[in-house]
Amino acid sequence: MVVSAHPVATAVGVDVLRDGGNAIDAAVAVHWALAVTSPWAGNVGGGGFAVVRLHGGQAMALDFRETAPGKASSDMFLGADGRPLHEVSTHGALASGVPGSVAGLFALRDSLGRLPMERLIQPAIDLARNGCVLSPLEAHEINVCMPMLQKYSTRPSAFTARAKWEAGDTLFQPDLARTLERIRDRGRDGFYRGETAQAIVHEMERGGGIITTEDLAGYEAVWRPVVRGQYRDIGVISMPPPSSGGMMLLQMLQGMEAMDVGAAGWQSPATVHRMVEVERRAFADRSSFYGDPAFTHIPVEGLLDSLYNLGRMVDFNPLHATSSATVRPGLPPTEHEQTTHFSIVDGEGNAVSCTTTLNGMYGNGVVVGGAGFVLNNEMDDFSSAPGVPNSYGLTGGEANAIAPGKRMLSSMAPTILERDGKLLMVLGSPGGSAIPTSIFQVILNVVDHGMDMQQAVSAPRFHHQWLPDTIQVEYDAIAAQDSLKLVNMGHRFKSRRAIGRVDAILRLPDGRLEGGADPRGEDSAGGY
């Protein structure tokens, strides 16, 4: 089974599985396809994370997060008055980190794949050259981002070929097709060296960016040990730093262990209250402890210690909200809104959970001249200054300060669950800071509330991230009378549109696979 953000990309993955590829092969092919079908988030100019669980139970994590260019500095997004220059960190060439996706896909295939890369990338080449028919949502998204793409790109592109796009129009991307062909023919050097690398550097020169040929040639994806935890009788496998999402998910699940969530009821005031309080504390820890493990010490074992997370809830009041102003990062014991996700399980039981991103919708608004792909704006995920929120409202500290070669902190949390040593669930989500809370809620929906996979993914969601001290809630997610009870307990609400877009697979006791494709987008599940 394959569950992804676009039905064409899902079909590409299923075809790879039918042709004898494993889940890793399918993941690589789906990623390439999403770079064409879903350029608002699917990418060759961004980065991401993947968690893989082989059928025998061995699990590993691949970090292909972008890195800060060699000329980056801790104050590069601060004005002369010391105040953050938010637009500079989110738009234009300077906002881009060194892309990691291409290196990540080669690391996945070369280490664990079965089919040749030529087979896995060709469907994306064909899609780029022959064109993709735009849905109403896709046409709308290009039109919304058109002014940004026109302002920050220094050359015309496929996206700006029309003044306005309509549903049913075909988007042809010949420049991207040629870029993918160079990768097919030359491997990762077809991106990080030669013509494509020069196109990126020339775009930097025209647009005031700082990525160099040395930055590109020196990029490497990194295999890391997964983080593991337990929620009731379920083993949880997720992404380690420089993503905060996996560890925060484990912290939040530990914070719910003491509550009979099923008996309290789905989205009841008591359940929502407890979930918000554990989210509040996990995000407070994120602000202080998380960053690139190559540059800062992260107390992983301490943050995942069950006694630590139990202690974090010692001041929990079941009748009243805790003010975020009084919640500080803890003291763990020392150790001695745009992204896309896909989940895949093959017939052997191998599983891949992969989240990849440009950060903002259409990244930094820069389409590389002559190469046809959008660059990321991941530099905004660093802390431009301690305590200053980024575009998702997340605050950070020195652990996530900008430094050359450093990987910026993320909230992505590709996750795999197992029960009794067997695969149970594969899931993940886009959504910036709401990624770990979206996954958190879907897990509770299945484990504690007994929902099937599609019900768990479709159910309305809410989100709290410590600061701002507000529960963000999808329309009609919490009943009016329950909202009033929570307000009387001291909570504040802000309604918003979709929170996350979870794509998930549940393995049933008889071995069948049940997909959950998030209706908040045009996501699809396919299998055989």
Which residues, 6+ apart, have CB-to-CB distance to 86 below 8 Å?
Answer: 77, 380, 391
Q: Are 455 and 350 found together in one domain?
A: no
pLDDT for position 280 = 96
Mean pLDDT of 375-400: 77
Residue pair 252/285 in contact by the 8 Å Cβ criterion: no
What share of residues in the chain are helix, strand, coil (percent, to 5)? 40, 20, 45
Q: Are 35 and 110 found together in one domain?
A: yes
Q: Are 6 and 120 found together in one domain?
A: yes
pLDDT for position 396 = 60
pLDDT for position 227 = 98
Residue pair 84/385 in contact by the 8 Å Cβ criterion: yes
Q: Are 379 and 275 found together in one domain?
A: no
431 located within any domain: no
Q: Are 364 and 498 found together in one domain?
A: no
412 located within any domain: no
- Residues 476-520 pLDDT 10s: 899 999 999 999 999 999 999 999 999 999 999 999 999 999 999
Q: Are 146 and 268 found together in one domain?
A: no
Tell me the C-alpha to C-alpha distance, in Å, between residue 279 and each of 177, 274, 433. 43, 9, 11
Q: Are 361 and 489 found together in one domain?
A: no
Q: How many CB atoms lie within 10 A of CB 305?
A: 17
Q: pLDDT tier at 334 (50, 70, 90 boundaries)?
A: very low
The tokens describing 388, both together, are 């200053």
Number of domains in the chain: 2
- Residues 383-393 pLDDT 10s: 877 666 666 56
Q: Are 467 and 369 found together in one domain?
A: no
339 catalytic per annotation: yes
CA dist., res. 372 & res. 398, Å (int): 36
The amino acid occupying position 234 is I
237 located within any domain: no
At 268 the three-state DSSP class reads coil
Q: Are 159 and 258 found together in one domain?
A: no
- Residues 269-306 pLDDT 10s: 999 999 999 999 999 999 888 999 999 999 999 999 98
- Whether omega for the bond prior to residue 69 falls within 30 degrees of 0, making it cis, is no
pLDDT for position 335 = 40
388 located within any domain: yes
CATH number at 325 reads: 1.10.246.130
Q: pLDDT tier at 327 (50, 70, 90 boundaries)?
A: confident
89 located within any domain: yes
230 located within any domain: no
3-state SS track over 116-181: CHHHHHHHHHHHHHHCEECCHHHHHHHHHHHHHHHHHCCCCCHHHCCCCCCCCCEECCHHHHHHHH
Q: How many CB atoms lie within 10 A of CB 311?
A: 14
Q: Are 86 and 102 found together in one domain?
A: yes
Flag whether pLDDT at 406 surpasses 60.
Answer: yes
pLDDT for position 386 = 61
Q: Are 108 and 174 found together in one domain?
A: yes
Structural domain ending residue among the three candidates 380, 400, 420: 400
Q: Which of 179, 271, 322, 339 is catalytic?
A: 339
Q: Are 164 and 204 found together in one domain?
A: yes
423 located within any domain: no
Going along 333-487, which residue ranges are E strands? 338-345, 351-359, 415-419, 422-428, 462-463, 471-474
- Whether omega for the bond prior to residue 318 falls within 30 degrees of 0, making it cis, is no
Domain interval for residue 154 = 2-223+339-400
CA dist., res. 243 & res. 356, Å (int): 12
> Rounded to the nearest 10 degrees, how much is the dihedral formed by the CA atoms of 253, 254, 256, 260?
110
Mean pLDDT of 236-260: 96
Flag whether pLDDT at 336 surpasses 70.
Answer: no
131 located within any domain: yes
pLDDT for position 383 = 86
